[in-house]
Amino acid sequence: MEVKNQSSHNRKLVLQEISLSFSFDAITSVGPAVIVYLRHSPVNLACSLVTVIFSSSINVTTTSPRFILHRNSFPLDFLRFSCHSFGEMGIYSRTVAVSLVVSFLLFLSASAERNDGTFRVGLKKLKLDPKGGLAARAFGSHQENPPRAYNLGDSGDADIVTLKNYLDAQYYGEIAIGTPPQKFTVVFDTGSSNLWVPSSKCYFSIACLLHPKYKSSRSSTYEKNGKSAAIHYGTGAIAGFFSNDAVTVGDLVVKDQEFIEATKEPGLTFVVAKFDGILGLGFQEISVGNAAPVWYNMLKQGLIKEPVFSFWLNRNAEDEEGGELVFGGVDPKHFKGQHTYVPVTQKGYWQFDMGDVLIGGAPTGYCESGCSAIADSGTSLLAGPTTIITMINHAIGASGVASQQCKTVVDQYGQTILDLLLSETQPKKICSQIGLCTFDGKRGVSMGIESVVDKENAKLSNGVGDAACSACEMAVVWIQSQLRQNMTQERILDYVNELCERIPSPMGESAVDCAQLSTMPTVSLTIGGKVFDLAPHEYVLKVGEGAAAQCISGFIALDVAPPRGPLWILGDVFMGKYHTVFDFGKAQVGFAEAA
């Protein structure tokens, strides 16, 4: 059944697709009946490379966007980011050494009020870039690698939030908190239920230095709450306390909304994130502190008429528009035909029953007796049980990302490394000598993977380590050890390639050959008795350009034990192909082919 468009009660918030790099995208919006045309302007910010050696402190300031509301004008919007060292007078002195590459690119876009009363914010979309995501994973693999199997038991409702990994989050939008509004970019996440943003009282987390912070003292509508809060995710956790204030989403103002001021954001996840916080669109049953989700209060306060919201995620890499979140209904232009609806089987998440999985049209029989699935806008990939995901990745020729990077280095530079070792070149200088690492006389500093295969576009990617440099350093050790065994050169290189096969990917991703997309099978999921197909170009994510391009499988293994599992998490890979309706009133989820 199609949800009717309630013209005066539909509220739309367009989502931004962002790149897997250290970047920050800002969007702006204005009130009804004012059309503001904003031209985009890349801004090279002051702290592109921040080296923090805290005997003093670093002060990061942001200046909120300024709007000039003139029809047909083209005002520029600036985000200023500045770093100041205050020596011993710094308020938050720390003794810690950190090196970060912080590169921000600001794009602005048009905003407009539709004639039917709906509100939309036009967005830009940046191409995916492997450097930031790979770097984050390489660094995070040592500290934050989540387990591959979970036993949530009967009380595991809220615990599925702990499986979430926002490192590759691709879509976000803008909200504001307080009066006057303080702007934040957030992931609109149907897989969690709380709203949180960084707090001005977050003193000791690096992530808080790099993102806007909520300042309660500047809001006339702030109300003190004070309850403590903590949310654990698969790759990090946040802690803080609850506060109450007005929250603006699009042109809707939700009064007295309970949200979390995050005072601790440990780990790398939220340091490299392109968003400031999370706005959960799940059920109150999984809300930490039993706080009413923003979505609930929209309904309670009569801001929208229909208890429905819907997602359209634009997967067309050539389009600038990233997607659209509609509160109060659906936009018919964003889907084809009718939605197939399935009932929510367990409140908390938008969870429903799923049938068999097909590979190349052939049933696997894995979910014949039924599996559970969750529609999750806060997850980029499509996660499922290891058994079937392994079958899918085998069918599409996928191998571990780290394994493929290692083999690339060995294939292109293995003989050179061997020759240099035979010529008695100092082993620790070999990788810098062939250009895979830089060398400062004491240690290797990693370079971007594109420097391995694309010399013309070589760019330094300092700070969190790089797979190409790491693979080279491992290959040097492996080859050196085999030379001591008097093995033939051919056997040595074969052996090193075999070792590459055994390298696990930090976050479980698998890579495929970009040139083989046309030969890969269609993968299909059965929902509500209907088969939903995913073609290779829809389940493979391409990052990078030219010879530096990588193709990542959209399928990732995740094992949840009964009674909650086996469980599938249908993230952006699936929701990008299929327009998704979340019907709170009828407790159902609907899917239709996106237009």
User: Which pLDDT does position 168 carry in this prediction?
Assistant: 55
Q: Could you confirm whether 376 is annotated as catalytic?
A: yes
Is 371 among the domain residues?
yes
* Interval 409-458: pLDDT, tens: 999 999 999 999 999 999 989 999 998 887 543 333 333 322 222 322 33
Domain shared by 147 and 58, yes or no: yes
Does 320 have pLDDT greater than 90? no
CA distances from 78 to 42, 51, 213, 255, 373 (A): 9, 24, 18, 29, 42
The whole domain housing 442 covers 400-501
Least confident of 93-107, 468-482, 490-504, 565-579: 93-107
Q: Could you confirm whether 189 is annotated as catalytic?
A: yes
Domain shared by 280 and 310, yes or no: yes
Better pLDDT: 318 or 371: 371
Structural domains in the chain (count): 3
CA distance 120 to 109: 11
Domain shared by 406 and 487, yes or no: yes
Is 363 among the domain residues?
yes
Domain shared by 374 and 438, yes or no: no
CA distance 31 to 33: 7
Is 117 among the domain residues?
yes
Domain end position, chosen among 501, 523, 544: 501
- The token pair at 497 is 């390639």
Is 562 among the domain residues?
yes
Domain shared by 356 and 445, yes or no: no
Does 34 have pLDDT greater than 50? no
Is 6 among the domain residues?
no
Domain shared by 388 and 317, yes or no: no
CATH code, domain carrying 568: 2.40.70.10
What is the b/e burial string over 71-110, where b = at least 16 CB atoms within 10 angstroms of the residue's CB?
eeeebebebebeeeeeeeebeeebeeeeebbbbbbbbbbb
Is 5 among the domain residues?
no
Domain shared by 156 and 272, yes or no: yes
Is 507 among the domain residues?
no
Does 568 have pLDDT greater than 90? yes
CB atoms within 10 A of CB 44: 9
* Interval 321-373: pLDDT, tens: 788 898 988 999 999 999 999 999 998 999 999 999 999 999 998 887 789 99
Domain end position, chosen among 300, 327, 354: 327
Does 249 have pLDDT greater than 60? yes
User: Which pLDDT does position 220 carry in this prediction?
Assistant: 99
Query: Catalytic one among 157, 189, 331, 583?
Result: 189
Query: Catalytic one among 77, 276, 376, 583?
Result: 376
- If you average pLDDT over residues 67-79, what whole number do you get? 29
- If you average pLDDT over residues 400-404, what whole number do you get? 77
Domain end position, chosen among 305, 327, 349: 327
Domain shared by 525 and 551, yes or no: yes
Domain shared by 542 and 442, yes or no: no
* Interval 183-233: pLDDT, tens: 999 989 999 999 999 999 999 999 999 999 999 999 999 999 999 999 987
Pairing of strands 399-400, 236-249: unpaired
Contacts of residue 224, defined as CB under 8 A and 6 or more positions apart, other chains included, come to 216, 243, 244
Domain shared by 538 and 429, yes or no: no
Residue 30's Cβ-count burial label (10 Å; 0-12, 13-18, 19+) is middle
Domain shared by 455 and 574, yes or no: no
Does 15 have pLDDT greater than 60? no
Is 2 among the domain residues?
no
Domain shared by 352 and 483, yes or no: no
